[in-house]
Amino acid sequence: MSDDEGETFYDAQPEHQAESLPTTTTTTTPTTTVSVSSDAAPTATEEMTTATTSTITPASAAASSSNGSSTTRGDGNDLESAAQSSSPSTGAPATEPVQPAMQDGGHAETEQAAASLTADSVENAENVENVETEAEIPPIARELTDDDRARLKELRQSGNAHFGAGRYNEAITDYTEALDIAASAGDVEAAIFFSNRAACYSKLNNHALVVEDCDDALRINPEYGKALTRRAVANEALEHLDEALRDYEALLKLDPNDAAAKRAVKRLPDQIRERNEKLKDEMLGKLKSLGNMVLGKFGLSTDNFQMVQDPTSGSYSINFKQ
């Protein structure tokens, strides 16, 4: 096994313009005529009735401020406070302020926007959930430190040394510790350790674990040739011939001159056809036994039925004979 060191991968919002606010016109009708000197406050007997009406005009908040209005910038609730502040504080009851006509429309638009935002949030949450439950995306828990990198190098060298000496279980231990560091951080170098550990499992004839580790390596690096080769060999050993053929075909796309892949692509199709014919014969044999058990009750057997294959389509027709 070659050392895979050469394949290491290190990796204000703009200020809103003042909203146009309704201009408040205040009409004050005194019911009692009083004389008030410039240096005296109004007496308690003064009674004034104030009628407040609101109309919508394109007056700006700045203009309202310059005219002595206490209106401040804010959300839609400030529209109500602006109308209320225009009425002087007196002992007499004032007519109830009329809400600006635009307020109802504003609430409707706000409710519509809130409903739209809620729908978008639900859809995005589902996408995030879907997105968060897809298995091929490695979780990135943290960044690797310099100490992590140094430890990964030590473990790779130690694992490779154990592998070269035939100590495959010790090599697996080193590669697994390295994966605890690299894979937990979603590091692309984890693909190398998955593939190296797969090589150890291959030496121990544990082909199922070879496939699992190569699957993980290829999820990180889909064009990792060594992982493809090891998975193809393991699939063939497990008699997963269709999967092995796909891996060898993928290898040829990466390297059209791969001699082993070329031989496998020529060899496997015949093996797949032979296997399929064998499976078909086994299936027909089981069906024949079942059919004889049922037909025997009527004095018949499957020998009374003849299957004829159409050479053009490959389909079968059944003929009955006495």
Q: How far apart are CA 73 and CA 62, in angstroms?
A: 10
Tokens 């070879």 -> residue: 210
* Amino acid identity for residue 91 in this structure: G
Q: Mean pLDDT, to the nearest integer, of 189-212? A: 97
Q: Does the pLDDT at position 247 exceed 80? A: yes
Q: How far apart are CA 24 and CA 277, in angstroms?
A: 92
Per CATH, domain 146-256 is 3.50.50.60: no
Q: Is this model's pTM higher than 0.75 or not?
A: no
pLDDT tens-digit readout, 84-135 = 444 444 444 444 444 444 444 455 554 554 444 444 433 333 332 332 223 3
Lowest mean pLDDT, pick from 56-65, 76-85, 190-199, 238-247: 76-85
Q: How confident is the model at residue 183 (pLDDT cuts 50, 70, 90)?
A: confident
DSSP 226-271: HHHHHHHHHHHHTT-HHHHHHHHHHHHHH-TT-HHHHHHHHHHHHH
Contacts of 219 (CB under 8 A, 6+ apart): 135, 136, 138
Q: How far apart are CA 71 and CA 73, in angstroms?
A: 7
pLDDT of residue 288: 73
Q: Mean pLDDT, to the nearest integer, of 187-191? A: 88
* Rounded-to-10 torsion of CA 157, 230, 11, 124: -140
* Eight-state DSSP code of residue 7: G
Burial of 159 (0-12, 13-18, 19+ CB in 10 A): buried
Contacts of 86 (CB under 8 A, 6+ apart): 24, 26, 52, 69, 97
Q: Which residues pair with 309 in a beta bridge?
A: 316
Q: Mean pLDDT, to the nearest integer, of 224-252? A: 96
From 146, 152, 151, select the one nearest 188 (Cα to Cα): 152
